[in-house]
Amino acid sequence: TALATVVEERDEDTGGHIMRCEDYVERLLKEMREKSHYSNLTNDYCENIVLAAAMHDIGKIKIPDYILNKPGRLTEEEFEVMKKHSEYGAEIIQKTMSDIEEEEYCKIAFNIAKYHHERYDGTGYPTGLEREDIPLEARVMALADVYDALISPRVYKKAFSEEKAKAIILEGSGNQFDPVLVPLFLKCV
């Protein structure tokens, strides 16, 4: 969390984003465990996902400030640089944590950092994974991350209302987001 907070402090817009995302992830996992389809999720697995959620944007430490804090839409070239944060994050986790953290936590943190921008329909980044090929923890993180980004003000946009954010999440069901997780997420936020 301390390492992730350093990154968050560089981004002028995301104050509190880490804690809110952790909260959304925890709520969604609780909701998932109450459904028979996900009743096999262990306490340790869920706890590791909640703890690893803080690391989802750790790769932004390697993104230049002029892109990270640009007060407007990114150019195509700038967006390509920004997209690299997911791969950078996975590399940072692999290099810095594999010797000091438990193996399952590191794998979950790696998956969240690398794959939280994959899309259910396969059009996301960095690798174009689709459907259940995207690790469950990354599909969970994607919902929390996008929802919080929608309801939070940014230098390039005003905050959406919770109703509008929920409508956008619902609209993304089956293409951006896992359609099984969307109704569970919407129920708990």
For 133-161, the pLDDT digits (tens) are: 999 999 999 999 999 989 887 766 788 89
User: What is the rounded end-to-end Cα distance, in angstroms, of the chain?
Assistant: 22
At 1, the pLDDT band (50, 70, 90 cuts) reads low
What residues pair up with 177 in beta bridges, in sequence order?
173
Predicted local confidence at residue 17, as pLDDT:
80
The DSSP result for 110-172, as a single string, is HHHHHHTT--TTS--SSS---GGGS-HHHHHHHHHHHHHHHHS-BTTBPPPPHHHHHHHHHHT
Predicted local confidence at residue 15, as pLDDT:
56
One-letter identity of residue 54: A
Tokens 């969604």 found at: 28
How far apart, in whole angstroms, are the C-alpha atoms of residue 15 and residue 152? 9
Catalytic residues: 60
Highest mean pLDDT pick, 34-43, 51-60, 135-144, 151-160: 135-144
> What's the mean pLDDT when you consider all of the chain?
88
Predicted local confidence at residue 19, as pLDDT:
84
**Does residue 170 have a pLDDT over 70?**
yes
**Does residue 38 have a pLDDT over 90?**
no
For 111-129, the pLDDT digits (tens) are: 999 999 999 999 999 999 9
The percent of residues in the chain predicted with pLDDT above 70, rounded, is 89
86's CB contacts (< 8 A; 6+ apart) are: 59, 113, 114, 115, 116, 117, 125, 126
**Does residue 7 have a pLDDT over 80?**
no
Lowest-pLDDT range of 17-21, 30-34, 35-39, 159-163: 35-39
The DSSP result for 29-53, as a single string, is HHHHHTSGGGTT--HHHHHHHHHHH
How far apart, in whole angstroms, are the C-alpha atoms of residue 139 and residue 143? 7
Q: Is 78 helix (H, G, I), strand (E, B) or coil?
A: helix
For 64-91, the pLDDT digits (tens) are: 988 888 888 899 999 999 999 999 999 9
